[in-house]
Amino acid sequence: MDLPLGYNIQGAKSSNGTRLVCKLNKSIYGLKQASRQWNSKFACALIQFGFVQSKSDYSLFVMGAARSTAGIALSQRHYALQLLEDSGFLACKPATVPMDAKVLLGADEGVLLSDASQYRRLIGRLLYLTITRPDITFAVHKLSQFLVKPRVPHLQAVHHLLRYIKASPGQGLFYSAALPIQLKAFSDSDWGSCPDSRKSVTGFCVFVGDSLVSWKSKKQTTVSRSSAEAEYRALASTAAIHIASNPIFHERTKHIEVDCHFVRDMVTKGMVKLMPIRSQHQLADPFTKALSWPLLHSSLCKMAIKDIHGPS
């Protein structure tokens, strides 16, 4: 006879002579039903907090979406205000940009924090806020690199970021209902911008119409030996487009790995069309570097990032 699922206690018997087995009331890791049980528990908890589970994608839970005939606005205003209150920045002086472009942060610059828990806790909460705040993605990505040994300048940069969030806590994404469906992507790189590793930073953003649907800021895994290599990886500059469209390899591109040239095949097949973008129209710039207020504001307007709670 099959015994119930559980742990067999060697040598132990009940009063009727059968071996004792622990019957599981909760799923544990390693069992086939563990993931299903965890998903069920997680879904029930989110629904209790007021989230609505999507019928088309059961892994999507939505709460706080503002809908109208014009479109949908996604914002984490309540979460942002709670973050400011918990960190003591609810009444702070607002900042115009998420990160000062003149400040260069390094891993070994400044005095080590005596207690790194506050820094790590703030970065963790800021990472969650990037779900609807592409404008802080680069700053959070940069500051998250110092989680192991955060220093005073790093914490000061986090405080500056909190002051920027105070300026518009309700800022978020707007998805228009009246735009044509056209897939567009912007990609850029900042060559050798990391002072510690000399690696380049790649950023990209993808639009359906004028609605931003995907974005990322990430340090490249390897060191690019030329700006052409970094640009080719990011598919951003005129040099990269020229290389991808030109069947002749130049001397400066011989060292680029073969897998980087898959874009050439896509261009040849007509699946990808590369277009030159002027610096003032490059919407991926905010994901590769800290920008001044005029450049950042111009980019955010084109990304349909709005604060529906702010003054009109």
Q: Which residue's entry shows tokens 């349909």? A: 304
Q: Minimum mean pLDDT among 21-25, 99-103, 153-157, 176-180: which range? A: 21-25
Global model pTM greater than 0.75: no
SS3 47: helix
Cα-Cα end-to-end distance for the chain:
73
Measuring CA to CA, which residue among 282, 278, 281, 222 is closest to residue 255?
Answer: 222
70 in any annotated domain? no
Predicted pLDDT of residue 306: 85
Together in a domain, 22 and 95: no
Q: Which residues contact 139 (CB under 8 A, 6 or more apart)?
A: 98, 99, 157, 161, 290
SS3 171: strand
Task: Report pLDDT digits (tens) over 174-207.
Answer: 988 876 778 888 877 776 556 666 677 878 888 8
Together in a domain, 298 and 193: yes
- Which residue segment(s) compose the domain that 245 sits in? 179-307
Together in a domain, 196 and 241: yes
CATH number at residue 299: 3.30.420
Domains: count for the chain: 3
Task: Report pLDDT digits (tens) over 65-95.
Answer: 888 888 889 999 999 999 999 999 999 999 9
240 in any annotated domain? yes
Task: Report pLDDT digits (tens) over 223-261.
Answer: 555 555 555 555 533 364 445 555 555 545 555 555 456
